[in-house]
A and B are shown apart, each in its own frame.
Chain A
Amino acid sequence: DGGITQSPKYLFRKEGQNVTLSCEQNLNHDAMYWYRQDPGQGLRLIYYSQIVNDFQKGDIAEGYSVSREKKESFPLTVTSAQKNPTAFYLCASKTNEKLFFGSGTQLSVL
């Protein structure tokens, strides 16, 4: 099946802990994105990458980090510097202006 796979579906973070959310795509898309969604709200851009080995900060990048070593993969690390990490995280890739989303990861703080 072609598409975007996010894992895990649910993730729990302890205080002071870094956690990494996985995003893999087999759509051969160059551009990939990470969005954060809070309950009842829209999507806010965290980081994006338009090509391998390159990425840029979005609107709410503080407390997050990413890497783009392979075209297929764009993992997001939520660091201990992110003081309010509880949210639904969505990864997407883009072709012809359209974003294709994964099924999301719900991150909660223990």
Chain B
Amino acid sequence: GESVGLHLPTLSVQEGDNSIINCAYSNSASDYFIWYKQESGKGPQFIIDIRSNMDKRQGQRVTVLLNKTVKHLSLQIAATQPGDSAVYFCAENIMDTGRRALTFGSGTRLQVQP
């Protein structure tokens, strides 16, 4: 079946370093991608999204890169802070088809070491 998945289940980085969280997707028809951050015991929070007509999108301290050739998505966090420690999910969808909901990957846990 078609799915969204992540390469690394746990990523440990030092405070101040840059973090890169990766995601592979297999549905070549997907044209919308989104990253969520989930802290323990809380609901996921929107971080950043990107449509398939773009390769890169930047937010505050975060950048999402999309490589449609290899169906790969990444989230880059600059100057990682302890508050960035959480589980990060990528999700995908096909827009304008009435498809019902986002499909989520299994998540990557980011641990920031002080």
Taking a contact as CB atoms closer than 8 A, the residue among A6, A43, A48, A102 that contacts B104 in the complex is A43
Inter-chain contacts of A58 with B (CB < 8 A)? 100-101
Q: Which residues of A contact B95 (CB under 8 A)?
A: 97
User: Whole-angstrom distance between the alpha carbons of A72 and B74 in the complex?
Assistant: 35
Which A residues, 89 to 110, have Cβ-Cβ distances below 8 Å to chain B? 90, 92, 94, 97-104, 106
CB contacts under 8 Å to B, within A17-42, are 33, 35, 40-42
Smallest CB separation, A31 vs chain B (Å): 8
A99 CB, nearest partner CB in chain B, Å: 6
Contacting pair B34 A98 (CB below 8 A): yes
Chain B, interface residues (CB within 8 Å), range: 20 to 34
- What are 24 A-to-B residue pairs whose CB atoms are below 8 Å? A4-B43, A35-B104, A40-B106, A40-B107, A42-B104, A42-B107, A43-B44, A45-B101, A50-B100, A56-B100, A92-B43, A94-B101, A97-B32, A97-B34, A97-B93, A97-B95, A98-B49, A99-B34, A99-B44, A99-B46, A99-B91, A99-B101, A103-B43, A104-B43
- A40, A42, A48, A94 pick with most chain B CB within 10 angstroms: A42
By the criterion CB–CB under 8 Å, are A101 and B44 in contact? yes
Tell me the smallest distance from the CB of A71 to a CB of chain B, in Å: 18
Q: Which residue of A lies closest to B3 (CB)?
A: A42
What residues of chain B lie closer than 8 Å to A50, measured between beta carbons?
Answer: 100
Structural contact, A97 and B49, CB atoms closer than 8 A: yes
Contacts of B49 in A (CB 8 A): 97-98
A35 to B44, CA, bound (A): 11
CA distance A94 to B107 in the complex (A): 21
In this complex, which of B41, B100, B105, B107 has the most chain A Cβ atoms within 10 angstroms of its Cβ?
A: B100
